[in-house]
A and B are shown apart, each in its own frame.
Chain A
Amino acid sequence: MTGRSLHDTLLRVLSHGPLRAQMLGMEDGSTTIVSDEWHILSRVPKDRLRNTARFLARHYYGERIARLFRHVRRLAPQTGRDPLSVLDSPKARIVLDHAILGSSNTAEEMASLLETFLLENAAGIHMRFPYWQDLVCYQATMFRLEARKVNECATDRPCRSVSGNIIEFEWDIPAILSDLQSSNHRKPGTVHRPSILLIASSSGGQVISLRCTPEVQRLFNAADGTRTIEELGLAADCSVQQTEQVLRQMKEIGAIQWDDSITTGS
């Protein structure tokens, strides 16, 4: 055992609720994991381990809520609903105590809590901000996608990534975000037009949304990992050059997986 191996195990135990539960349940014989690192860490007072893990999880998801729900948070003084306050609820405490930091399952649980908190009994908020439902959906999508990990290897056939999604909104979300950022108070009716957004999370963890043209939408939907560039171009009604250009951009933001270093044979 080295300091490094012990610390690696500590970091995993602190960031992984089910693993920690096994360690905390060692005395009742419910775990079969045996290692020097495991035995040493099992001597740390249980409440210290539990409390530290909850503290770290609260910070982890607090930072993501502040960043990825920032537009909803801007309206908190008017709506009375600051998404960060969800973390103080008993339900969130259960999620934090069982969290696997960075996992899509925990992100899903947290996103559901956030949606319930923001959208339940929100008739008054909808009256004032009729795009509220769309705005919450947009931010929750970003929150979920940020936690999606790409596991499959890219091939020469472009394929939609689990960290990318296209969403159709009833309201013009980019215009609303721009207004919120600049504190522009134009009437909501002027932004009541549909918008289609490609939202994706890159390998660096940056979540990006882009307005989606019909061609991009067709290309994204057709990219199922079986088609060549030429076939995708035909499906999207784009030239090969255009198709490659758009695919590269989609790859960069994490919307598709594609190994473009391999020469494609049609």
Chain B
Amino acid sequence: MTRLTLGAFYNPHLAEAILANADQIDHLAMADAPLPGDRWWPQISARFILLAHDYLGQLSEPLTSCQLNRARALTERYRSPWTAEHLQRIHPTPDHAGDKPDVSLDYVFPPVYTEDLLQDYTQNIRVLQNHLGVPLAIEPIPTFFHIDIPQMSEAEFLHRLCEESGCYLLLDIPHAVLSAYTYGRDPASFMLELPLHRVIEIHVAGLAFNADLKRPWIAPVAPDKDILGLAELAAAHTPQLRAITFDAFSPSLRFDTLSEGMQLLRERFI
């Protein structure tokens, strides 16, 4: 049976403290490639399991050969057992194939769950997966607001995406909670409708009130007991689960927050 690993995101400014506390951390998720001047990188890469979680491309569009090759190179460089990408749509359809889009939000934003986009994601995920040679885990993004159009539920979209593309799921507990709030649903029942049998990794983090959105939103803070309880519930329904990650990645993150997040995971999952 494969061991469940507990880990965090690699925050380069905390590298020294991460290495000094390596006994608390099994794996590191890599949101960005290490900078050339990162003097801790050789020790980090030698010490931890690394999980590729960089931006590979917007999967509603076909990835270019350059993007595909970069995705594979990152996966190989990290020796990542799987690679993750967001189920997001942050820029409009480029005018011409291969053109740079005219705008990008530069922040995760979910698609609408329509048939045409499902087909596009499915096709592009298959291509990426074939290129990677390791499983691809797709991470759903919380819904900011409801749009009144005929579309599938998020759960139905994800079930079909997993079935039709063969991808796995990266379940981010705060993301699921936020989507449930947007849909006016109870978070636990919403989460249990998702294709949990395809979950390979879980993200756990905290929520904090956001003054712009006037509601709780993702924040680099430790998870509360509700989030941890939902993570435990999810873990009990995810037979393929391999890793749980404290999802905090920010230049302002302090090591005591990262350490607290790891401690909370260890208390619940070891």
Contact = CB atoms under 8 A, between A and B. Distances in A.
A101 B102 CA distance: 10
A208 B116 CA distance: 40
Nearest to B104: A102
Contacts of B212: 51-52, 54-55, 58
Q: Which of B104, B107, B113, B212 has the most CB of A within 10 A?
A: B212
A40 interface: yes
Contacts of A44: 145-147
A66 interface: yes
Chain A: interface size category: 20 to 34
A43 B210 contact: no
B251 interface: yes
A60 B107 contact: yes
B112 A52 contact: no
A203 B98 CA distance: 13
Nearest to B106: A60
Nearest to B251: A66
A59 B213 contact: no
B1 interface: no
A2 B145 contact: no
A178 B149 CA distance: 54
A110 to B, nearest CB: 14
Chain B: interface size category: 20 to 34
A41 interface: yes
B86 interface: no
B103 A11 contact: yes
Interface string B237-249: 0000000000000
Interface string A77-105: 00000000000000000000000011000
Interface in A1-29: 2-4, 6-8, 10-12, 14-16
Contacts, number: 86
B210 A55 contact: yes
Contacts of B111: 3, 7
A11 B106 contact: no
B72 interface: no
Contacts of A203: 100
Contacts of A60: 105-107
A56 B117 contact: no
B103 A12 contact: yes
A199 B268 CA distance: 51
Contacts of B90: 11
Given A40-B148, A54-B212, A59 B107 contact: yes
B148 A3 contact: no
B109 interface: yes
B144 A48 contact: yes
Contacts of B266: none
Contact of B92 (A11, A41, A43): A11
B87 to A, nearest CB: 13
Interface in B121-151: 144-149, 151
B112 A7 contact: yes
A63 interface: yes
A45 interface: yes
A56 B110 CA distance: 13
Interface string A23-53: 0000000000000000011011100110110
A3 B112 contact: yes
B183 to A, nearest CB: 14
Interface of A: 2-4, 6-8, 10-12, 14-16, 40-41, 43-45, 48-49, 51-52, 54-56, 58-60, 63, 66, 101-102, 203
Interface of B: 60, 89-93, 100, 103-107, 109, 111-117, 120, 144-149, 151, 210, 212-214, 217, 251
